[in-house]
């Protein structure tokens, strides 16, 4: 039985946006081996608390004609392919995006016999169905040359439903029914649900109407900051007002008969208190240091940013307003330009306050 | 043609891989991805531990009889996974995931007399009856039995219940998932102890997805 060995390893160089994916196959054998074909397949893979999916990026011919892999030598076979549209690598709570490079090597039939049936025990790669050897590696695609940029513009805030009062009403109603009624029919449950729904939406629309419209304007300041100007109507009055933004990872799990959505906050900025909020207030927020949070929608996975404004109403109800906005990655803003934008914002604010 | 993963599995099956006991702590460097993440459709056959005899079901589908085969159970018990796996054994027949990628008209208008339907609850009672009347064989998943619709359509019904769990099956499912994600097949496969499995079963009952999701979180 032959004792020939073959060791293959795939390496990917660092990948940057607007450049190629480049890498090489490193092969070491104990005997000369004729390799008929070597191909590298690059693909994107998404795994998480959902049905996994893959997307092929490219299949590259590493060699164009059969070559002899010299025994005992370090055989380095480079390859590359362009990287166009892509989703960045990401490691979240409920989903991970990775890139893989799978290299398949077709050893010439006569030389394949040299390796013997026992060779599997001494190779780092696997065997495929058509007697090809397989080696795989995982790599990261993260754009480190570009920084976050918010999509500038004006956004409307929306009021989140508040369940505190309806739940309190529901509990009181249930206690009253238990105390004063003898027959516990299903109609009381139905009535309870209707009342809770009516109270929830009644309060919601009442608050929306009395507090009026709330908007924000976003502008980029520099490569690490953006500016948020919140504007309100005269009617808007809340106590203990705070503003912050959060990055949400949303994964729709369609594995089963029923669809479930997992929503996790991946990042929350510092909470900034809104003091003397007469008509508008301006805040500068820092972008997160992690670079894989840009707005994304890929199949059943979504990453989005939202500005949150919290406060307490005159009735003592905690309220939360949110506005979703887009953030992409782009070339950094020159420092001078950013300072100009900041100064212009300051002037605008002064004028509005006057 | 078998893909590489199939070969890994075959190799894995014919070689006795030593196992190592774990207290749910798995080394990330030993796996390409979280072993408890959702698998690709093509990998279902590698992770599934079948609940029924495939030959028996295939015979029922392939013989010319008219039948509705119901995969009945609560969520997370493996109905959809088994439906996908069964359809992969019979790729000549289509699968429809209602409410996700397909709608009722598509199912009804498809030329195939045998259809696999996931999420039949998206159809009204009338539509279900019409579907049972139109198609010779309907294999579907449901949380509640659709016996009445079958009676109205005068369709013979076979029910496969997805209920119950034991540590042996759970161990097999976990081992299959670990083997699929493992970077080096020569390394010993992690092995969950009986008490660990029992703890999971005590907490989640027969909700396999609940168990797998818990393991996913621990690994992540």
Residues of A in contact with B141 (CB under 8 A): 257
How far is the C-alpha of B104 from the C-alpha of B101, rounded, in Å?
11
pLDDT of residue A232 exceeding 90, the answer is no
Residues with Cβ within 8 Å of A39's Cβ and at least 6 positions away in sequence, in order, are: A59, A60, A61, A62, A103, A104
| Half-sphere exposure (Cβ direction) of B205: Cα atoms closer than 13 Å | 8
pLDDT of residue A154 exceeding 80, the answer is yes
How far is the C-alpha of A51 from the C-alpha of A44, rounded, in Å?
14
Please judge whether A257 and B75 are an interchain contact, meaning their C-beta atoms are less than 8 angstroms apart. yes
A347 CA to centre of own chain: 36
B144 touches chain A (CB under 8 A): no
| Half-sphere exposure (Cβ direction) of A27: Cα atoms closer than 13 Å | 28
Please judge whether B37 and A93 are an interchain contact, meaning their C-beta atoms are less than 8 angstroms apart. no
In this prediction, residues A319-344 reach a mean pLDDT of 72
B209 touches chain A (CB under 8 A): yes
Residues of A with CB under 8 A from a CB of B: 45, 47-54, 93, 96, 98, 100, 102, 120-121, 124, 126-130, 134, 136, 138, 253-259
* Interface predicted TM-score of the whole assembly (ipTM), two decimals: 0.76
Please judge whether A257 and B141 are an interchain contact, meaning their C-beta atoms are less than 8 angstroms apart. yes
User: Nearest CA of chain A to the CA of B79: how many Å?
Assistant: 7
In this prediction, residues A130-140 reach a mean pLDDT of 78
B35 touches chain A (CB under 8 A): no
Q: Which long-range contacts (CB under 8 A, 24 or more apart) does B124-133 make?
A: B125/B149, B128/B153, B129/B153, B131/B104, B131/B107, B132/B68
b/e per residue A162-189 (b: at least 16 CB within 10 A): beebbeebbeebeeeeeeeeeeeeeeee
What's the CA angle centered on A44, arms A43 and A46, to 5 degrees?
140
- pLDDT-derived band at A1 (thresholds 50, 70, 90) equals very low
Per-residue confidence (pLDDT) for residue B71, from 0 to 100? 93
Strand-strand pairing, B114-118 and B95-97: parallel
The pLDDT tens digits of the residues spanning B159-218 come to: 999 988 888 889 889 988 888 888 776 667 778 888 888 888 988 888 898 899 889 988
Give pTM, 2 decimals.
Answer: 0.77
More confident residue, A195 or B53: B53
In this prediction, residues A21-35 reach a mean pLDDT of 84
B206 touches chain A (CB under 8 A): no
What's the CA angle centered on B94, arms B88 and B96, to 5 degrees?
105
Indicate which of A53, A140, A256 best probes the interface with B, i.e. most B CBs within 10 Å of its own CB. Answer: A256
**Cβ(B17)–Cβ(B9) under 8 Å?**
no
Instruction: Pick the closest to residue A257 from B78, B146, B87 (CA basis).
Output: B78
Per-residue confidence (pLDDT) for residue A89, from 0 to 100? 87
How far is the C-alpha of A68 from the C-alpha of B18, rounded, in Å?
36
Residues of A in contact with B32 (CB under 8 A): 100, 136, 138
Per-residue confidence (pLDDT) for residue A322, from 0 to 100? 92
**From the list A47, A102, A124, which residue is nearest B33 (CB)?**
A47
Residues with Cβ within 8 Å of A122's Cβ and at least 6 positions away in sequence, in order, are: A5, A6, A7
Please judge whether B34 and A121 are an interchain contact, meaning their C-beta atoms are less than 8 angstroms apart. no
Residues of A in contact with B99 (CB under 8 A): 259
**In percent, how much of chain B has pLDDT > 70?**
85
More confident residue, A256 or A293: A293
b/e per residue B16-32 (b: at least 16 CB within 10 A): eeeeeebeeebeeebbb
**From the list A49, A126, A136, which residue is nearest B216 (CB)?**
A49
The pLDDT tens digits of the residues spanning A76-119 come to: 888 888 877 778 889 888 999 988 888 888 888 777 777 654 44
How far is the C-alpha of B163 from the C-alpha of B74, rounded, in Å?
8
**Cβ(A221)–Cβ(A275) under 8 Å?**
no
Element (H, E) at A228: strand A225-232
Strand-strand pairing, A75-82 and A147-150: unpaired
Indicate which of A257, A300, A301 best probes the interface with B, i.e. most B CBs within 10 Å of its own CB. Answer: A257
In this prediction, residues B137-143 reach a mean pLDDT of 92
């Amino acid at each position: 039985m032959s004792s020939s060995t073959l060791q293959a390893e795939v390496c990917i160089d660092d990948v940057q946006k607007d450049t190629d994916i480049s890498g090489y196959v490193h092969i070491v054998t104990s005997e000369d081996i004729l390799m008929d074909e070597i191909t590298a397949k690059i693909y994107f893979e998404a795994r998480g608390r959902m049905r996994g999916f893959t997307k092929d990026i490219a299949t590259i011919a590493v060699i164009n004609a059969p070559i002899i892999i010299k025994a005992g030598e370090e055989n380095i076979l480079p390859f590359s392919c362009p990287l166009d549209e892509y989703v960045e690598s990401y490691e979240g709570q409920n989903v991970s995006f990775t890139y893989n490079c799978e290299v398949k090597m077709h050893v010439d039939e006569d030389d394949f016999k040299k390796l013997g049936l026992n060779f599997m025990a001494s190779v780092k790669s696997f065997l495929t169905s058509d007697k090809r050897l397989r080696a795989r590696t995982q790599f990261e695609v993260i754009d480190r040359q570009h920084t976050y940029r918010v999509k500038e513009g004006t956004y409307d805030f929306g009021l989140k439903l508040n369940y505190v009062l309806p739940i309190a009403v529901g509990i009181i109603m249930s206690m009253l029914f238990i105390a004063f009624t003898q027959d516990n029919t299903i109609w009381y449950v139905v009535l309870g649900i209707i009342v809770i729904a009516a109270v929830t939406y009644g309060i919601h629309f009442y608050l929306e109407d009395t507090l009026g419209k709330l908007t924000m304007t976003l502008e980029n300041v520099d490569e690490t900051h953006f500016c948020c100007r919140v504007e309100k109507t005269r009617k808007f009055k809340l106590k203990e007002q705070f503003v912050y933004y959060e990055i949400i990872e949303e994964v729709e799990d369609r594995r089963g008969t029923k669809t479930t959505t997992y929503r996790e906050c991946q990042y929350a900025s510092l909470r900034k208190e809104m003091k003397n909020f007469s008509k508008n207030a301006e805040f500068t927020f820092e972008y997160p240091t992690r670079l894989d949070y840009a707005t994304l929608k890929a199949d059943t996975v979504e990453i989005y940013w939202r500005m949150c404004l919290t406060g307490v109403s005159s009735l003592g109800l905690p309220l939360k307003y949110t506005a979703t906005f887009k953030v992409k990655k782009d070339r950094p803003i020159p420092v001078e330009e950013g300072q100009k934008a900041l100064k212009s914002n300051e002037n605008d604010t002064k004028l509005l306050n006057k | 043609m078998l893909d590489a993963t199939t070969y890994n599995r075959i190799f894995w099956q014919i070689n006795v891989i030593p196992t190592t006991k774990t207290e749910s702590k798995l080394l990330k460097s030993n796996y390409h991805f979280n072993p408890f993440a959702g698998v690709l459709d093509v990998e279902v056959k590698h992770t599934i531990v079948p609940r029924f005899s495939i030959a028996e079901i295939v015979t029922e589908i392939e013989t010319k009889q008219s039948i509705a085969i119901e995969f009945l159970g609560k969520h997370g018990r493996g109905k959809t996974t088994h439906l996908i796996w069964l359809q992969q054994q019979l790729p000549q027949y289509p699968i429809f995931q209602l409410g996700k990628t397909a709608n009722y008209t598509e199912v009804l208008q498809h030329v195939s007399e045998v259809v696999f339907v996931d999420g039949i609850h998206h159809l009204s009672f009338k539509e279900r009856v019409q579907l049972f009347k139109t198609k010779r064989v309907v294999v579907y998943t449901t949380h509640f039995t659709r016996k009445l619709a079958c009676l109205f359509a005068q369709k013979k019904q076979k029910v496969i219940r997805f209920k119950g769990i034991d540590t042996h099956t759970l161990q097999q499912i976990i081992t299959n998932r670990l083997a699929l994600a493992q970077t080096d097949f020569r390394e010993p496969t992690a092995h969950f102890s009986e008490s660990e499995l029992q703890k999971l079963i005590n907490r989640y009952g027969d909700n396999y997805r609940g168990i797998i999701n818990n393991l996913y979180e621990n690994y992540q």
